[in-house]
Structure 1
Amino acid sequence: MQYVGDQTSLIQGLFSASTGAGGEAWLPFLELLRRVTRADGATIFLDRGREEAEVWTDGISCADAAANRSALRFDRVYDQEGLPAGVIPEGFVRLVKVRAGGATATLCIKRLDIRKDFRSTDRQYLTALTPFLGQAVETWSGLERQRSMAALTGGLAGGLGAAWVIMDLTGIVQEMSANARDLRLLAGQTVRRRLEFPDGDLALTFRTGFAACIAAPEVPQALFDPETGTDLVLRRTHLAGDPVVVATFRAPAELPDPDHFAAHFGLSRSESRLAALICEGHSIKTAAADLGWTEETARTCSKAIFTRLGVQGQTGLLRRVLTSAVTLGLGNCQAGSAQAQFPRPAPKGQP
């Protein structure tokens, strides 16, 4: 009965690890496997073709036993005497290799040679895990890819100053996007509570808009906070069958520091400082004062910027900058990069 109970615990631990985030998710399973088999170490090797293997270990490493794991046959439990020629591990080992989608996973347990060899029961534990190991690793890899894509999407949204908040029909916050609290308007907001705004006029406008959204679900409610320059749209919808109100926020995108701004657009540092101020809403006169320049110097510099970027006037510059990747945090291009090799559009009227 002890064997059946331990086997069940190991399989449950394996699938629990498969839904965890990051490589650390495998450590509790490896610790359990090591304890059940009384091993000194337990390791998982995940090989993806030519990429360097991902390795997770609890206790001592099994790297010497799995040094030539590409030569192992699939779904067979090996001991130290059955390993490929030339592989001589220290101590006693048991290991098995399985397919995991387009990758391979190798699970190994190890005892130091000052102890006795593994029991036949310990080998049976690996045999019992073999049909599930590949599926578990493939599930974990798929979830990791989804998390990476979600993080990429969140990063792009954050670069654009966008965030979302999900509320129930009473206004209680249920979920927030990862970057929501980065917006000035949402700083300090938490789940399980209603959104609170220190500005009384904005708070009243929000409550009025929320009530209108509940009363007329087909009509989105648009709000604006002039202090932070943040737009807000309230929509009533359904998520997984539950009625909710989704609030989407869009704050002004933050421009990078002058060096990155200059590298992205191929401007000098002085030109990038002036361009950034114009994009923040400054006139040529106020930008010149901020930089300590004469108005004539700023005007001459602005004309050079417009020519270099192929735009006409401050409106064209604003459109060019705010629709570029520089607001997404992708503008850290170095001289000679692929981005710098693309030709800039010529100003209208020039070849």
Structure 2
Amino acid sequence: MKFAFTEMQGAVRAVVGREQGLGVLLCGAQASSPPWQVAEALAELIGLAYEGLSEARPWFGLAERLRQLLGAFNVTITLHHSEDQPRDVQVMALDADDRTDWDLAEQVSRERFWHIELVRPESVAPGTLIEFGPGDVEGDCAAFMVSLGIGRCLRGCFAEPGGMRCWIDVVRGLRLSGQAFAAEERALLAQLLPHLSRSLGLYARLKREEAEKAVYEGSLDHLALGCLLLDGHARVLCANRAARAIIARQVGIEIRQGRLQVEERGAQQALEAAVAKVLQARNGPGERVRLQARDGTLLGILVAPVPPAPYYQGEQVPSVIVHLCELSQCEAASQVPRAHSPELLGQLFGLTRQEARLAAWLATGRTISEAAGQMNIAVTAARNYSKNIYAKLGIKGQTDLVRLMCRSVALLR
């Protein structure tokens, strides 16, 4: 640990000597009033608090502006803190000249000074502030803070109802001689905390919904049915894996310039008319279109409306879902779907390798004879395997097998 502490001291910015710095900090300089009005600064920061939801580094703009307003060399927002993890998840706004290795600083702090209550974030309750500096902690920790150039730290906590708790640290450097934060500065951060809590609640809700969306999109990808989501201008917003595979297999149908395009003019007009009708109606069962690819494969399309959201309008609002399937088999589509792989079916249903292979073919709608031909086995052998399959699964025949496959996690691939 001595090595880590020495290395840390070598990584910090140039600051005053240990004894000199401690002497200044322990004396505690008087705070001076900031050159701004609390109301005006607060209004600006509130805007940044809500804009921060959409930033790649959440609330970085707010952290940087707060750093400038309060004359800090470092403002850190801790988004996730855990005793079990080696590092916190943080967004940090730094002085342009800062060359400190803050990852190493956190490591040393956790290893050497985590027993000190002021050092640990969870010592601050939601909606409250604390201020501390080297003069408020024990000797080694004080020296460590001075080596990092830390004069004073103003820390606040904000939380949301779902349990997410975050902290914001405003760190003032030694160049201000350890000057305490003025009453106006403390008031500014105190009045900002409720808005950060509300913003955090929105952020947490958005992230939860994004996670749910990813799960649903993943489930959609497992379907053998192709699905494309269109906006109000018939532009493709997304397509699941099955839709992309069908389009890739077929000649004369593609997604071009963000739109689903069919080579045959009459088919394209029928598709466009169906989409236009659904967009106008925005309800009902949808419109059906049957297309024929250049290789003769028949494609069935159901164009259905997405239920409108009355308070959500815009160019990229999901408006139409296009379901796409192959009504006749092409060579590529006739292969066993990966969802019905023998290995997966064998694991799920306790089938032997040959039984699982046969079940995979039967689940695609093949007859016993067709499946036997694909497997290069006798029809009588296939019939015996099928009896074993039905007995193991407790079903009566192929129809029940297909139904079981459609209801089981065998669809997940």
Q: Does TM, normalized by the shorter one, top 0.5?
A: yes
* Greater alpha carbon shift after TM alignment, 284-293 vs 175-184: 175-184
Q: Are residues 1:96 and 2:156 paired?
A: yes
Structure 1 unpaired stretches of 5+: 330-351
Letter in 2 for 1:68: R
After TM superposition, give the deviation of residue 221 of structure 1 in Å: 1.8
Once the two structures are superposed, the pairs formed by residues 216-255 of structure 1 within 5 Å of their partners are 220-225=286-291, 227=297, 230-235=300-305, 240=310, 246-251=320-325, 255=339
Aligned match of 1:291 in 361, 375, 379? 375
1:31-62 CA-partner distances (Å, limit 9, x unpaired) = 44445443235132446999999732325368
Distance 1:200 1:265 in 2: 47
SS in 2 for 1:120: coil
Question: Structure 1 residues 224, 21: CA separation in 2 closer, same or farther (over 3 Å shift)?
Answer: farther
Distance 2:45 2:215 in 1: 34
Q: Are residues 1:105 and 2:135 paired?
A: no
Other-structure match for 1:306 = 390
Other-structure match for 1:68 = 120
After TM superposition, give the deviation of residue 208 of structure 1 in Å: 5.2
Other-structure match for 1:316 = 400
Distance 1:186 1:32 in 2: 49
* Greater alpha carbon shift after TM alignment, 261-270 vs 29-38: 29-38
Task: Identify which of structures 1 and 2 has the higher relative contact order when contacts are C-alpha pairs closer than 8 Å and 6+ apart.
Answer: 2
Letter in 2 for 1:79: E
Distance 2:229 2:51 in 1: 29
Which of the pair is proportionally richer in helix?
A: 2
Distance 1:284 1:117 in 2: 85
Letter in 2 for 1:95: R
Other-structure match for 1:335 = none
Aligned match of 1:25 in 28, 40, 58? 58
After TM superposition, give the deviation of residue 258 of structure 1 in Å: 3.2
Q: Are residues 1:165 and 2:214 paired?
A: no
Distance 2:319 2:132 in 1: 61
Distance 1:66 1:162 in 2: 56
SS in 2 for 1:312: coil
Other-structure match for 1:280 = 364
Q: Give the conservation status (yes or no) of the 8 Å contact 2:230–2:321.
A: yes
Distance 2:209 2:153 in 1: 35
1:79-122 CA-partner distances (Å, limit 9, x unpaired) = 22499987867233220123422433221133566874366255
1:182-231 CA-partner distances (Å, limit 9, x unpaired) = 5345665367x653123556435424545665898767322345737554
Q: Are residues 1:9 and 2:79 paired?
A: no
SS in 2 for 1:255: helix
Q: Give the conservation status (yes or no) of the 8 Å contact 1:221–1:235.
A: no
Question: Structure 1 residues 111, 218: CA separation in 2 closer, same or farther (over 3 Å shift)?
Answer: closer
Q: TM-score, normalised by structure 2?
A: 0.62
Q: Give the conservation status (yes or no) of the 8 Å contact 1:184–1:228.
A: no
Q: Give the conservation status (yes or no) of the 8 Å contact 1:236–1:244.
A: yes
Q: Give the conservation status (yes or no) of the 8 Å contact 2:226–2:243.
A: no
Distance 1:111 1:228 in 2: 70
After TM superposition, give the deviation of residue 146 of structure 1 in Å: 1.9
Once the two structures are superposed, the pairs formed by residues 181-196 of structure 1 within 5 Å of their partners are 182-184=243-245, 189=255, 194-196=259-261
Structure 2 unpaired stretches of 5+: 1-34, 95-101, 110-116, 249-253, 327-336
After TM superposition, give the deviation of residue 255 of structure 1 in Å: 1.5
After TM superposition, give the deviation of residue 74 of structure 1 in Å: 4.0
Other-structure match for 1:39 = 73
Other-structure match for 2:351 = 267
After TM superposition, give the deviation of residue 320 of structure 1 in Å: 0.9
* Greater alpha carbon shift after TM alignment, 123-132 vs 61-70: 61-70
Distance 1:295 1:96 in 2: 75
Distance 1:182 1:107 in 2: 46
Q: Give the conservation status (yes or no) of the 8 Å contact 1:72–1:84.
A: no
Question: Structure 1 residues 189, 28: CA separation in 2 closer, same or farther (over 3 Å shift)?
Answer: farther
Distance 1:225 1:49 in 2: 59
Distance 1:267 1:128 in 2: 65
Letter in 1 for 2:271: F
